[in-house]
Amino acid sequence: MQREDRSEFLLLEHSPLQNLVGVAPHLESDLGLRARTVLDTELEAHATWIKNWQQILPYLVSNLSFVEPRQLDRILNFCQISQMLFDIERAELPGDPVITRTAVFELVRQGKLSPEDLHCDPLSATSRFIKGRTHVETIDH
């Protein structure tokens, strides 16, 4: 995971790998300095956000190559005020709503579009987005 200016190796609390690399934080190595255990309670606190990203990632993996830079710019301009996903998709018609949705999610991933309610509410057509820089932890690809 990319965090601020460095990479971080995350270990899930009850992962089978936890036993294999559980000693890493005690080693005087680069891995030991970058390893962090994520507790189950931390995951539970972010369950909705995680579930939403589980829905978002397939769009990015499958469709990102079809998104054009002009579309990203149009969506950012449209989202000067808070907009529902449904309205963003409608504004981009006759374009493919799946590609529009992918563009919205890419802008969120880049931190250029802020998801107003995805931390606490399930992703839906009524999810709201607004232009603005937010802190979104991402994995470099």
Is residue 137's pLDDT more than 50? no
| Structure confidence at residue 2 (pLDDT) | 55
| Structure confidence at residue 7 (pLDDT) | 73
Q: 0.85 exceeded by the pTM? A: no
pLDDT tens digits, residue range 85-119? 999 999 999 999 999 999 999 999 999 999 999 99
Is residue 140's pLDDT more than 50? no
Contact 130, 82 (CB under 8 A): yes
Write down the mean pLDDT value for the chain.
84
Cα–Cα nearest to 80, from 36, 129, 9? 129
